[in-house]
């Protein structure tokens, strides 16, 4: 990844990052990308780690998997 976090959570340049020299603004490209973003966004798009990004608006604001979804459903093969 282009940026790493220190123990305090500050973003730092990764000296082993590849292709930084090919970006017009170098590491600033990634620092600017991280500015004002959530920690999850930074983790995924800046630090190259797995995570989950939520964008846009929910279709159903009150949807809850625990309430609205069924884990196992029996299928009646005769119908």
Per-residue pLDDT tens over the stretch 36-75: 998 889 999 999 898 887 777 777 778 778 888 887 888 8
Round to whole Å and give the CA distance between 32 and 13. 13
Round to whole Å and give the CA distance between 66 and 55. 22
Dihedral of CA atoms 58, 62, 67, 68 in degrees, nearest 10, equals -50
pLDDT at 11: 94
Measuring CA to CA, which residue among 12, 44, 22, 45 is closest to residue 3?
Answer: 12
5: helix, strand or coil: strand
Residue 76 has pLDDT above 80, yes or no: yes
pLDDT at 67: 83
């Amino acid at each position: 990844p282009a940026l790493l976090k220190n123990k305090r959570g500050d973003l730092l340049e990764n000296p082993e990052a590849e292709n930084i020299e090919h970006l017009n603004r170098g590491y600033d490209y990634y620092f600017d990308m991280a500015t004002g973003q959530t920690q999850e966004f930074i983790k995924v798009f800046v630090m190259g780690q797995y995570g989950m990004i939520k964008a846009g608006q929910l279709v159903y604001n009150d949807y809850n998997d625990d309430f609205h979804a069924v884990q196992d459903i029996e299928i009646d093969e005769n119908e």
